[in-house]
A and B are shown apart, each in its own frame.
Chain A
Amino acid sequence: MAHDFDTMLRTIKDKQWSLADVDWDAPGAETITDEQRPKLKQFMADLVWIENIGAMGFAALADKAPTETIKQIYKYFHAEEQKHANAELALMKRWGMLDDGETPEPTVQVKMAIWVLDNFSDDMPLTGLATLIPMLECALDGALVKFLLDEVSDPVCHEVFRHINSDESRHIAVDFQVLDVVGAGPVRRQLIESAAVLKPQVLLGLIVVFVPLLNKMRDNIVAMGLSEQKLYNAVKRFVSNGDRSANTRRIPAYQMFKQQARMVIDRTHPYHRFLADPLVKLTNAFPARLLGKPPSWSKELTHEPVDR
């Protein structure tokens, strides 16, 4: 299938928006109830950090992009994920969840994910990252954001997520187009790339960090009232998008993440009892100070639409 990445890049440039376009003082903040606030704060904080991790994922992808145009697209996506995190912070600020200049404290699982991305994202093969990111985005777009918009009636929140969803639809479209391109490559390369996933540091990073990160968020959100059906729909979207391309189906990393996604949504699967839940417990007890100073890229988030 031929993909027109040049047109996509032009569209991305044309569709840019800024936090300054949003009236953050418009009425509607008062619709958030005191009952909602603490849980919503945790949800939003998780969302912000997932966006930030996604941003860094795109930065790593930009370095591995198969063409110059795709590289440019990934550079924009890196910035857009950062924009989404910034906008979500601005919503938190609007809802009285943050002080001036404050960024929510990441969970230990997020800190570990940041550490792994900072240290090993360059070692991760293109196919691994290129598959992981659309999976996260489908979950974000299909479940988390839909849930948020069901729960929150603040019109500013809805306005912001109209922008975010529009961006995400392009991210997901490109993600799958790139998987199609990568999957069309020679089998030999697929095998080499798959072998790279098996490098101890990459495998350990994926299992020890992303398994509990996903599970903790999953459980947090389900506890807040997100129906498992929404998660199921999100994964279905990931799988149906991916399976549509014979090339994508050939990618071992895609097959791997597809299986993982299926296990994540099914709470009765032994995956939870034997791997994910124990890892959540284990990582909860992990002393975050061992990870050292957080990288400077994780400190660039801001809720201020204007910087002087």
Chain B
Amino acid sequence: MNTTTGVLVIGAGFSGLGTAIRLSQAGITDFVICERAGDVGGTWRDNTYPGAGCDVPSLVYSYSFAPNPNWSRAYSGGAEILAYIRHMTDQFGLRERIRFNTDITRLVYDDDTGTWTASTKDGHTITARAVVSAVGALANASYPGIDGLDTYRGHTMLSSAWDHSYDFTGKHVAVIGTGASAVQIVPELVAMAATVKVFQRTPGWVLPKANPHHPSWLTELFRRVPTTQTALRQALFYGHEAMALGVVWDSAVTTLLQQVSRRYLRRAVADPWLRRRLTPDYRMGCKRILITSDYYPALQAPNCKLITWPIYALSANGIRTAEGIEHQVDCVVFATGFDVYNAGTPFPISGSGGRVLGDEWLAGAKAYKSVAVAGYPNLFFTLGPNSGPGHNSLLVYSEAQIDYIVQAISLIRRDGLRSLEVRKDVQEEFNRDLQRRLARTTWNSGCSSWYLTGDGFNATMYPGFATQYARGLATLDPDDYLATKAG
């Protein structure tokens, strides 16, 4: 079966839904949203592990065009964020526009018609003038390549595919990984399980997180006087913007933030050896900063132990580390991160003249303003290359991308264009400047992280303030693009 539509939006997470809302508000209503799962929510639908939450305050980690006065606390948990996404879906009447359980397997551009055809796993096709890929940056996770993984007879689970049927009560549990998900999971598991062993390869910089409940009067104030919510959102936004001085650029502020983190570690952890193992040896910001006040206390609980010996294999009953001991556990939780597409695409994309985006991005993904790619007309990305923030809400970036994309699609429709394609020279110049600016950032300061490809190319982060990023995307300059009229 083939469907034809004006715009195909791939993904019903934050970005896909946001795109659909803004398209509707711009009067573009002939769009279809394809979602591979059976519900909306993307990463917040998938990541339901105990303790899941956002490390950016909810007032900023929400869309300005869909304000929510009812956040229960400063940093909301995953369930509340998912409820917000579901509410937003219903509020803007998007549910009936979504084709659930529709997994896109391939995307092919036809130069003659200026349209894209998407193939789905169940054998259907969807043809659209424009496509918005809102597949998410952290949508896929897989088990890491540890020797003997298949020989382990206990229970295993990925943090992003939590097995809620498993009862941790009285169990001996291992958590592999100490990143953003792990620091949220560990305190919850320590409260539930008999013992928890946390296997760390590299410690992260930790900053404490104050997470007060929103008092009822504040919620009431937000409802009655929405501008107060907007004002607080702005204040939080600019507070986070200031953090860029230390988190984005490797500067004296980075050193200052490191001192704050070290002081917190000294106060929170009494044992010098444990403290030493929790002290990072790279510049703060180079890997994702961990915002938590629960992690260090959990690590020091009598039933919890931090293991820093290198893991070399899994055996039938547990984890073998290089100090010669087999750590026998009933369950291994892999909080080992996501498959980041900084050097490829989640499904094959063939553009103008049959070029394949995955091949072009093999050495590192490149785009213009993270949204458009030369050779791939009428195709737009949310959370595309170099759009990641280290210091502020991802949704601010996402909102800027969406509005830029809506401008592009409006231009195609207004001028009756067959294709709108970013100029190659413009894209190249943009990336030259971007990589030059990235050289001075903490991400490129020498540590290895998921921000970088194996060769050290940074295809994920934006080297600047969120304000700067949003300003860059505020107005679409038609001169940056090659436009071809239909017919």
Q: Which residues of A contact B (CB under 8 A)?
A: 13, 16-20, 63, 68, 75-76, 79-80, 82-83, 86-87, 118, 295-297, 302, 304-308
CB distance from B171 to the nearest CB of A (A): 11
- Beta-carbon contact of A80 and B273 below 8 Å: no
User: B271 an interface residue at 8 Å Cβ cutoff?
Assistant: yes
Q: Which residues of B contact A (CB under 8 A)?
A: 172, 195, 271-274, 281, 309-310, 312-313, 315, 317-318, 320-329, 448
- Beta-carbon contact of B274 and A18 below 8 Å: no
- Beta-carbon contact of B326 and A20 below 8 Å: yes
Pick the residue among A80, A297, A308 that contacts B328 (CB under 8 A).
A308
CB distance from B18 to the nearest CB of A (A): 39
Additional A-B contact list (18), CB under 8 Å, known A75-B310, A306-B326: A16-B322, A20-B320, A20-B326, A63-B281, A79-B323, A79-B324, A82-B309, A82-B324, A83-B323, A86-B324, A118-B272, A295-B272, A302-B325, A304-B325, A305-B324, A305-B325, A308-B328, A308-B329
Pick the residue among B195, B324, B448 that contacts A83 (CB under 8 A).
B324
- Beta-carbon contact of B281 and A79 below 8 Å: no
Given A68-B448, A76-B310, check contact A20 B322 (CB 8 Å). no
What are 15 A-to-B residue pairs whose CB atoms are below 8 Å?
A13-B312, A18-B324, A20-B315, A20-B320, A75-B310, A86-B324, A295-B273, A296-B272, A296-B273, A296-B274, A305-B324, A305-B326, A308-B172, A308-B327, A308-B329
Residues from chain A with Cβ under 8 Å of B329 in the complex? 308
Residues from chain A with Cβ under 8 Å of B448 in the complex? 68
Cα of A68 to Cα of B202 in the assembled complex, Å: 12
Residues from chain A with Cβ under 8 Å of B318 in the complex? 306, 308
Cα of A304 to Cα of B195 in the assembled complex, Å: 18
Given A68-B448, A79-B321, A296-B271, check contact A307 B327 (CB 8 Å). yes
Cα of A18 to Cα of B328 in the assembled complex, Å: 13
CB distance from A308 to the nearest CB of B (A): 4
Cα of A302 to Cα of B309 in the assembled complex, Å: 14
Pick the residue among B195, B312, B324 that contacts A87 (CB under 8 A).
B324
A-B CB proximity, top 8 nearest? A83-B324, A79-B322, A16-B312, A82-B323, A296-B273, A19-B324, A308-B328, A79-B323
Cα of A279 to Cα of B42 in the assembled complex, Å: 68
- Beta-carbon contact of A86 and B322 below 8 Å: no
Residues from chain A with Cβ under 8 Å of B323 in the complex? 79-80, 82-83, 86
Residues from chain A with Cβ under 8 Å of B273 in the complex? 295-297
Given A79-B322, A82-B323, A295-B273, check contact A307 B312 (CB 8 Å). no
Pick the residue among B172, B272, B325 that contacts A18 (CB under 8 A).
B325
Residues from chain B with Cβ under 8 Å of A18 in the complex? 315, 320, 324-326
Cα of A15 to Cα of B315 in the assembled complex, Å: 16
Given A68-B448, A295-B272, check contact A79 B309 (CB 8 Å). yes
Cα of A304 to Cα of B274 in the assembled complex, Å: 22
Name the residue in A18, A82, A83, A304 with the highest tally of chain B Cβ atoms < 10 Å from its Cβ: A18
Cα of A267 to Cα of B325 in the assembled complex, Å: 40
- Beta-carbon contact of B322 and A19 below 8 Å: no
Residues from chain A with Cβ under 8 Å of B320 in the complex? 16, 18, 20
Cα of A87 to Cα of B317 in the assembled complex, Å: 20
Q: Which residue on B lies nearest to A13, using beta carbons? A: B312
- Beta-carbon contact of A17 and B324 below 8 Å: yes
Q: Which residue on B lies nearest to A81, using beta carbons? A: B323
Residues from chain A with Cβ under 8 Å of B312 in the complex? 13, 16
Cα of A68 to Cα of B281 in the assembled complex, Å: 11
Cα of A235 to Cα of B430 in the assembled complex, Å: 61
Name the residue in B274, B312, B321 with the highest tally of chain A Cβ atoms < 10 Å from its Cβ: B312
Residues from chain A with Cβ under 8 Å of B281 in the complex? 63
Given A296-B274, A297-B273, check contact A79 B326 (CB 8 Å). no
Given A13-B312, A20-B315, A297-B273, check contact A306 B324 (CB 8 Å). no
